[in-house]
Structure formats: structure tokens, C-alpha cells
Amino acid sequence: MQPEININYLAIMACVAAAVPIGFLWFGPFFGKAWAKQMGIEDMEQPAGGAMAKSMSLFILGSLLIVFVLAHSIEVWRPSIWGVGADEPSWVYGIKGAVWTWLGFFLPLQMGRVAWEQKGWGLVAINAGFDLTRLLLFGLVLAYWR
């Protein structure tokens, strides 16, 4: 039996819109100085010209891809879409989808920065924490707002 996966595109857009302020807070007042130190950046100035627009555009596009795939992942955790039982509370699927996605894809990529780019574990902690935080938020929004 093929599952019937219904995706709420408005929820996806809400998650993408939420990614920007989450990133601003995480890499600004919360961990901005620590992140800059780990990156070896001494002067945190606004990027010149179109560099910021390019960075933000790529961040938004990346967030869209992450949320779109996560929305599908969360849905396939639900037994009801497979026709094999009743669902648990929605938050369970949001958390499962977020944590397993983070553990299997995001964390190993961050660990590769230590192995291949000689970045510190502090940077991995900041970046992996950001990834987990936004995935959990995305997961909960997507799980509840079907």
C-alpha cells in the first residue's frame, strides 16, 4: 500500500519565514560572538554590496528544501497514512522527524568540519545546536499544522 502524504504548503512557508529570525537570534545576540571567535572573524561587519542578499537568498532556499523534505519525513512516521493503526500525538512525529534527521544528516556533516576543515568542537556545538533547534521548531509546526 502506498501512503497518502498530504503536505500543508502554508506550514512550509511559515517555517521558512521563521528560519530567518531564528538564525538572526542564534548567530546574533545568543551565540554571535562565540561563533565569530570559532570562525576566526575579528570584525563582525555587515557584508558589502550584494553579499548579504546572496547569503540570505541561499539560506532561504536551503531552508525551503529542508522544510519540504522534513514535512514528508514527518508524515511517513504516522501509522495511519500506511493504514496500519492509530497515530500518537502529533508532537511525537515532529520530534522524531527532527531528531532523526538531525542525527543522521546534520550532525555528521558538522562533525566533518572537525575532521576535514580543522574547525573546533565549539563551532560544531553552535552550528549543530542551531540545526537541531530549527529542525525541532519546523518539526513541531509541520506535525501540528497538517
How far apart (Å, rounded) are the C-alpha atoms in residues 84 and 117? 46
pLDDT at 132: 99
Axis crossing angle, helix 121-144 with helix 9-25, rounded to the nearest 10: 150
How far apart (Å, rounded) are the C-alpha atoms in residues 145 and 36? 36
Q: What is the DSSP string of 60-90?
A: HHHHHHHHHHHHHHHHHT-HHHHTSS----H
pLDDT at residue 49 tops 80: no
pLDDT at 76: 93
Q: Using one digit for the tens of pLDDT, what is the confidence trace for 91-130?
A: 999 999 999 999 999 999 999 999 999 999 999 999 999 9
Percent of the chain whose predicted confidence (pLDDT) is above 90: 87
Residues 6+ apart with CB under 8 A from 51: none
Per DSSP, the three-state class of 34 is: helix
Cell of 140: 513541531
> Which pLDDT band, with edges at 50, 70 and 90, does 3 fall under?
confident
Q: CB–CB of 71/12 below 8 Å?
A: yes
For all residues of the chain together, what is the average pLDDT? Answer: 95
